Amino acid sequence: MEKLASMTDEELALLYIGGNNRAFDELLSRNQSKLFSYIMFVVRDQELANDIFQDTFVKVITKLQEGKYTDSGKFSYWVTRIAHNVIMDWYRQQKNAHIVEPAEGNDLTNLKGVSVTDTNREAEIVNAQVLDDVKRMMDMLPAPQREVVYMRFYQELSFKEIAEATGVSINTSLGRMRYAILNLRRMAKEHSITLNVCV
């Protein structure tokens, strides 16, 4: 009998593909809390988060059974990407856009100078000094912007990892962060919240 608890997520996924249902139970128990927290943070609604969580795992099971998973060493990113796609499908159906979004194709490729893929000083300052105020305004951001802020500051993922998890380019991830910061600053000004950024 396999010692499931000592196996990696990737090994468990392959074991489940091979017909071991207990391997999937172990995968679910390992990943459900982190994944649900991510979904809940993005959608901000318990009932909707439960629905999306269930839809995500139905898709995970289907894709595993169809052989659409290959061991890449990043099972959690793969599952997060599926959840991201389910969330985006739901938002597309709602067609509600209340805050400025970047135009299609606006992915910061026109920036010159210092590489935008490096963690820059502004991101460090925002992370260190503004996080408390940002939390209060997060509900007002569109899902793609809220998602990238969550992954960057709460899960501490790099922009490359965020891009992989959400299925977009690094520049698009950076663009979403830029728009999130612009929207948060605008909201802070409108609501007279002081974002004390020290240079």
Per-residue pLDDT of the chain (199 residues; tens, 9 = 90+): 469 999 999 999 999 999 999 999 999 999 999 999 999 988 989 999 999 999 999 899 999 988 888 777 789 889 999 999 999 888 887 765 455 566 665 555 554 444 444 445 555 555 555 556 666 777 788 889 989 988 887 788 888 889 888 889 988 998 898 898 888 878 878 877 665 544 3
For 8, residues 6+ apart whose C-beta sits below 8 A from its C-beta are 75
Look up residue 89 and give its two tokens. 């499908």
The CA-atom distances, in angstroms, between 176 and each of 2, 25, 64, 79 are: 43, 35, 30, 21
pLDDT tens track for 110-155: 544 444 444 455 555 555 555 566 667 777 888 899 899 888 877 8
Measured CA to CA, the distance from residue 90 to residue 34 in angstroms comes to 20
Segment holding 168, helix H or strand E: none
pLDDT at 103: 60
Maximum pairwise Cα distance, the chain? 61
pLDDT at 186: 85
0.75 exceeded by pTM: no
Contact 169, 163 (CB under 8 A): yes
Measured CA to CA, the distance from residue 134 to residue 49 in angstroms comes to 22
pLDDT at 193: 65
